[in-house]
Structure 1
Amino acid sequence: MDRSQVEIEEQGLGANPYGLLLKALTLIPSWHYFLAFLILSLVFLYNFLEFHFLQDLFSGFRGHPVCFTYNPCSVIYDAVVSKCRVLRGRYCATPWLSSPHLQTVFLNFNGRPPVFSYRRQLFYTSDGGTIALDWLMKCDVSGGALHMNSSISRNETTPIMVVVPGLTSDSSSAYLKHLAFNTAKHGWNVVISNHRGLGGVSITSDCFYNAGWTEDVRVVINHLHKEYPKAPLFAVGTSIGANILVKYLGEDGENVPIAGAVAICSPWDLL
């Protein structure tokens, strides 16, 4: 080995390793970097948007068993849940909507809610707050036509469903219009209790709603029970509204004047 080769090897050994690494990276074709960036972006979006298409694909789109937490000694389980076959079935989302976020966006733009008009009643709380109660009665949708001249009498025995919306939802939200319309079509009267400041009503008090504020639900339900004592009351809460409803039921226990309640998509951990 001659002297020039030895000098070259010594220079190579003494060179900055980071410089050598940078030089090696410059030799990689740019389209390789683009491909790696694309793959990483897809992986990030797949997890961030909570897709589960691959899981469904590997399961042959047979869906997954419904996971249900319950007390087997409960009277409600024996009387209701044990008879609901859907709770013992499997669930598989639409393949091209295998993300809860895409489902929300799709419903918002393509939900095509039914066309109808609510009857608005303004309820005023003791602290000066204003709550918009939007009614849809069974007679409003009977036969596919609206009949806006009738009203509920104190002796009405038709069940009333009270709906507590989600965080920023009000009676105009597509999913609530679907819920109200289909419930009224099945012979119930529906009233959506909009949160303070929503439903086109201005905030008229220093108090605003939040996930732990149950007083508004309490006074609205007590008001409805007083006005229509013979009508069975049922309550449905969605998202934050479900959290408010469940908290109210836990606080008042057996003293609540409602016959049944359903919590849909209640958050488990608000923090």
Structure 2
Amino acid sequence: MKKLFSPPWWAASAHIQTILPVFFKVDKPAVSRQRQELPDGDFIDLDWVGEAINGQAILVILHGLEGSSDSHYVRRMLQTAKDNNLCAVVHHHRSCSGEPNRLARSYHSGDTQDIHFTLTQLKQQYLDSPLYAVGYSLGGNVLAKYQGEQGSNSLLEKTIIVSAPLCLAACAKKLENGFSTVYQQHLIKQLQGKMQAKVAEAQLKSDMPVTAKEIDNLTTFHLFDDKVTAPLHGFSDVFDYYTRASGKPFLKHVKKSTLVIHAQDDPFMTDAVIPSNAELSEHVQYELHKNGGHVGFISGGVPWKPTFYLESRIIQFIKS
């Protein structure tokens, strides 16, 4: 029986849930890096904790927007996997491993080709190993879409999706209002910086859909996705991107065991991300918690040493 999440009194605020974990990261276990060359000439970096042995389970971790293996939630999951003798590997989205990717294109919320490539490589090398995956925020949306697209052909035996923006248009709108704009500003600055670096490269400049001056004016996700994300990744405009990349419509097609975890007070979300029963396949277990913020879920401890719900719940689901 799963443990119900309840925040301590000092972490009832969604913003405390979202922000505090950033400042109290656990130490990251030692990782070994593997570079995967992609068919289009780009690369993906994988960070491993534990030894991969054919026949033993592997947990694949997908981080959120502008995250990496250094993100607070990834660090905790890697340490928890190590404590449970579970081999884990972080799939970095293009340009997120500390080194710019080679192409003008980057990554986006609906990009399932790269994770499919990684999973295929893992399955070929570790044929008898069950593959599990956990995706956070953008990485969770990617996994929701992948699971729905692949159906019974999914290479994942179990999948956990945390704080995923399953309705991209509604989430982009939410981040334009109130305190949520603080999160948008923080992330947009990182995205702008990466795009500025690309337009400054002679070999990439002609492939970029915007100029350096135009990038500075893309101060919301809606604008950035319309002028950069959509044209760089084959979408006609922001509305086409948000429609085709949102994960919620894919949940009814999932054929492998999947757990979706949301907090209703998530400052990145609106109720539009919450699927109805009719939008879920019988293979999807949906958990909606009243509190938890965005990839927070502080469950106890003290403000200077918080404890968390997610890692124990993820391990419990994998082992169930």
Indicate the TM-score class for this superposition, using the shorter chain for normalisation: 0.5 to 0.7
Q: 2:15 aligns with which of 95, 101, 109?
A: 101
Runs of 4+ aligned structure 1 residues displaced above 3 Å come to: none
In 1, Cα distance between equivalents of 2:140 and 2:91 = 13
**1:158 matched to which residue of 2?**
56
Q: Cα distance, 1:223 vs. partner?
A: 0.6
Q: 1:207 aligns with which of 80, 98, 105?
A: 105
Specify every segment of 5 or more residues in structure 1 that has no aligned partner in the other structure, as ranges. Answer: 1-83, 138-150
How many residue pairs get aligned? The number is: 169
Q: Could you list the per-position Cα deviations for residues 112-156 of structure 1 after superposition, in whole angstroms to 9, with x for gaps in the alignment?
A: x1242210000111111211100001xxxxxxxxxxxxx545xx2
**1:183 matched to which residue of 2?**
81
Matches within 5 A, 1:48-67: none
Query: What value does the CA root-mean-square deviation take over the aligned residues?
Result: 1.5
Q: Cα distance, 1:100 vs. partner?
A: 2.3
Query: Is residue 261 of structure 1 aligned with residue 174 of structure 2?
Result: no
**2:65 matched to which residue of 1?**
167
Asked if the contact 1:160–1:189 (Cα under 8 Å) also holds between the matched residues in 2, the reply is: yes
Q: Cα distance, 1:174 vs. partner?
A: 1.7
In 2, Cα distance between equivalents of 1:105 and 1:270 = 22
**1:131 matched to which residue of 2?**
44
Q: Which has the higher contact order (CA 8 A, sep 6+)?
A: 2
Q: What's the TM-score once normalised by structure 2's chain length?
A: 0.51
Matches within 5 A, 1:1-271: 84-86=1-3, 89=4, 91-111=5-25, 113-137=26-50, 152-153=52-53, 156-271=54-169
- 207 and 115 in structure 1: CA distance in 2 versus 1, 3 angstrom threshold: closer
In 1, Cα distance between equivalents of 2:97 and 2:82 = 20
Q: Could you list the per-position Cα deviations for residues 35-79 of structure 1 after superposition, in whole angstroms to 9, with x for gaps in the alignment?
A: xxxxxxxxxxxxxxxxxxxxxxxxxxxxxxxxxxxxxxxxxxxxx
Identity of aligned residues (%): 28
In 2, Cα distance between equivalents of 1:85 and 1:244 = 25
Q: Which has the larger radius of gyration?
A: 1
Asked if the contact 2:28–2:70 (Cα under 8 Å) also holds between the matched residues in 1, the reply is: no
Q: Cα distance, 1:206 vs. partner?
A: 2.9
Q: Could you list the per-position Cα deviations for residues 64-115 of structure 1 after superposition, in whole angstroms to 9, with x for gaps in the alignment?
A: xxxxxxxxxxxxxxxxxxxx343xx4x432222222222222111123x124
Specify every segment of 5 or more residues in structure 2 that has no aligned partner in the other structure, as ranges. Answer: 170-320
Q: Cα distance, 1:207 vs. partner?
A: 2.2
In 2, Cα distance between equivalents of 1:92 and 1:223 = 39
1:267 partner amino acid: P
Q: Cα distance, 1:200 vs. partner?
A: 0.7
